[in-house]
Structure 1
């Protein structure tokens, strides 16, 4: 495929993503609203639990598409894990032990326990102790919170109040603060060929906190004792520093991964995709990240994935020694994925035909450009009002408290914003007054849900 054709595909894809919910303005607004949501939920929950929440992953970054799950990072704020800890009477103090662990993982030793509450996460018996006699903390320790919740890896899934509004499940990922700075120091100091991230960003990110989450390295003999080190909020900040075309690459590569690559290789997850985009952003000259280079960036990303598979190492962006495909791709699956990527690289921009939802939206842009623009303006307006409503309701919602015990607060939140709620309903269902007069209440609910779904065509 010629360079001119790829440029045309790039412009077509870019304008479609802008129209159907991924222009930079709306992704930034989405992320900002979820930051407010997290702050509101944390403010309420900290009155009951020593937990602070942060919406992370695609939703928190503003790049969630379709009905993908929402990830809420739940950090136990009375606990900190350090490489060289000093005992603090007001905190549970943990110490890292990297012996025998893969890069990006650590065993955790309890140095000081603040509370003797029977439901405390450190109220357990363990046969594993350090040379100083302190107990190791198994990653299952945090599952004490999981009563009545479905355990899903390091995340705990449940139907949430948000499900009623944006049709998704919420995963609570429990974690502790991690204060080790060696990984971030090495990350900030390593050589880079181009100017991303900027020096000011490197300085900002290198001072941010990390987390340990309760999941061990699968091939390890001590998997149950290991915790994964991650820099979730730092990665979220980095996504915000991608330029408009790199952000489009992010959402496009997520679609390629989910629709095209994961049926062939499950190891190419959305988290792998995010790390690939970071490496591409760091390793690409600014002039190659223009509006007509989206297909070039996509092909560069697919080639990078192929190269990593061939070399059995796909590096984590923050901790390059950590292999994101370690124990994930073997034998025939690996070779078939490499061969498949080779075929995809020959297709250029035409790879989009393999993503039915995106291709349908692109076709609609060609058939009815005026109506597509009108739709785009409407959907952005609806989403902004939806997000504002969710933020408002989050001021009256507390995690882990049954909804029936919070219904009066949520009702009061609606009633306190009745004019805004009516404007919102009229935006979604302009036929509302006539339908109310005709008693078509079931039809109103149906239209409300259908039109909310219509804002998520991608």
Structure 2
């Protein structure tokens, strides 16, 4: 796993670099209406450069949402304020306009609705439609950030709260609009739970990182177009970054199993469910039990938890246990029986289940010297690609590109020596970084 780029050192390096990337882009775009935050597996440092989509939160700056009990007068006057009505499915809310400002974003104004009772609500579906139409604006931010020519950005159909896009045909990403949210009671309930993990210092930090709202309602709700989901992206990224090496690798292997073996077609089972399984494992068990020697034990424990979640269609959300992540997940009876049987077969197979995973199988059966060379080269290429996005110095940029050309020459020579074809080196390198 370490040779494949999932070691603790590489994981923490990625986390630090993507945080630096966010700092630089937001400093450069300080006058824009949003703050951009890297989220998902990239923020957690658990995927290679092109291995999965890059998720970015677009956090609107002059809007804030408050739970009941927070004094409105403690909020700066330049912020538009919405009050959270949580009398809906757990982990969701509706937003009632509490205080308007003299200047209001057009996309916000166009998403306001009158509920017929004198209240003004902010519609999640209307705001998502407004945001999705701003593809040109998103492209301008990307171009400004990279400091390059106008990028070729292809927009795709929205999936849930995310607006997917592809840059230059190779870089896949998701843009998710978000609103800042103050819900201290929810975070304090989470913090007060008895636990083995994380440490009190990390618990306190997660509480200070707060929450956001994303424009997606509960799937089974009649009024989902008016509902918002409470998320803790920054806090969860901090929690994942504090998983130890074994816990992080269990999470990565579980994701590989879902992708390579279970293969859900409509996101009935997501990596988010697997993340919650690993977070519950970490909280409920002493850290001393998670070592390199116990990796397979915890992998099988995670698979058992997944099987139970599918069988019962129930997985409590780590931050808000009342929210069931499997509720209205769309698993029909055929898939339900098949996946329970498939996971049972994997559990009975024992440690050999990891040989079903192509990446791991190739790493195990490959000759040591070529595998070491491949691992070193792949990680250097990834580091060069990420560093390239972090510099505006022509001297540093030219040095990075010179070194990358040298590495690519070495890759080409190695392929020729091994009798391989070098018709499209760029395509091969892209495959290395996935």
What is the TM-score with the length of structure 1 in the denominator?
A: 0.81
**Counterpart contact for 1:257–1:273, Cα < 8 Å:** no
Say whether 1:97 aligns with 2:77: no
Residue deviations 1:227-257 (CA, integer Å, cap 9, x gap): 0000000000001110011111111111011
Which residue number in structure 2 is paired with residue 420 of structure 1? Answer: 400
Alpha-carbon deviation of 1:182? 1.4
Q: Which residue of 1 aligns with 2:130?
A: 144
Give yes or no for contact 2:55–2:175 (8 Å, CA) kept in 1. yes
Change in 2 beyond 3 A, CA 1:455/1:50: closer
Q: Residue in 1 aligned with 2:384?
A: 385
Report matched runs for 1:278-427 at 5 Å: 278-328=279-329, 329-364=331-366, 368-392=367-391, 417-427=397-407
1:75–1:254 Cα change, 3 Å? same
- 1:54 aligns to what SS in structure 2? strand
Q: Deviations over 1:178-221 (max 9, x none)?
A: 111111111111122xx211121112212221000000001111
Matched with 1:126 is: 113
Q: Are residue 454 (structure 1) and residue 432 (structure 2) matched?
A: yes
CA deviation profile, 1:57-110 (whole Å, cap 9, x unmatched): 0111111256321100110011110013515430110110012x1110001111
5 Å-filtered alignment, 1:36-55, equals: 36-47=20-31, 49-55=32-38
1:405 aligned partner: none
Which region of structure 1 is more displaced relative to structure 2, 329-338 or 214-223?
329-338
Residues 338-378 of structure 1 show CA distances to partners (whole Å, capped at 9, x for unaligned) of: 232222211111112322232122211xxx11221222222
Instruction: Verify the 8 A CA contact 1:253 1:273 in the aligned structure 2.
Output: yes
Partner Cα separation in structure 2 for residue 117 and residue 35 of structure 1: 29
Cα distance in 1 for residues equivalent to 2:266 and 2:339: 6
> Cα–Cα, structure 1 residues 118 and 299, in superposed 2: closer, same or farther, change >3 Å?
closer
Which runs of 5 or more residues in structure 1 are unaligned? Answer: 1-16, 396-412, 434-442
Q: Contact (CA 8 Å) 1:264, 1:337: kept in 2 or not?
A: no
Partner of 2:47: 64
> Which stretch shows the higher mean deviation, 239-248 or 266-275?
266-275
Provide closer, same or farther for how the CA distance between residues 266 and 344 of structure 1 changes in structure 2, counting only shifts above 3 A: farther
CA-to-aligned-CA distance 1:321-345 (integer Å, 9 cap, x gap): 1101001134343233223222221
Task: Label 1:90 to 1:265 Cα distance change in 2 as closer, same or farther (>3 A).
Answer: closer
The answer to whether 1:156 aligns with 2:163 is yes
User: Is residue 40–residue 54 contact of structure 2 (8 Å, CA) maintained in 1?
Assistant: yes
Q: 1:301 to 1:156 in 2, by over 3 A?
A: same
* In 2, Cα distance between equivalents of 1:345 and 1:264: 23
Gaps of 5+ in 2: 136-154, 414-420
Q: Aligned with 1:292: secondary structure? A: helix
Residue aligned with 1:388, SS: helix
SS at match of 1:76: strand
Q: What is the aligned length?
A: 399
Deviation at 1:415, TM superposition (A): 6.7
Query: What does residue 10 of structure 1 align with?
Result: none
| Greater RCO, 1 or 2 (C-alpha within 8 Å, sep 6+) | 1
Cα distance change on mapping 1:124 and 1:216 into 2, 3 Å? closer
The residue that corresponds to 2:142 in the other structure is none
Alignment of 1:114 onto 2:121? no
2:207 maps to which residue?
Answer: 206
For 1:439, the equivalent position in structure 2 comes to none
Alignment correspondent of 2:140: none
* Root mean square deviation, CA, Å: 2.5
Aligned partners of 1:310 and 1:145: how far apart in 2?
A: 37
Give the equivalent residue in structure 2 for 1:402: none
In 2, Cα distance between the equivalents of 1:210 and 1:454?
Answer: 35
TM-score by length of 2: 0.85
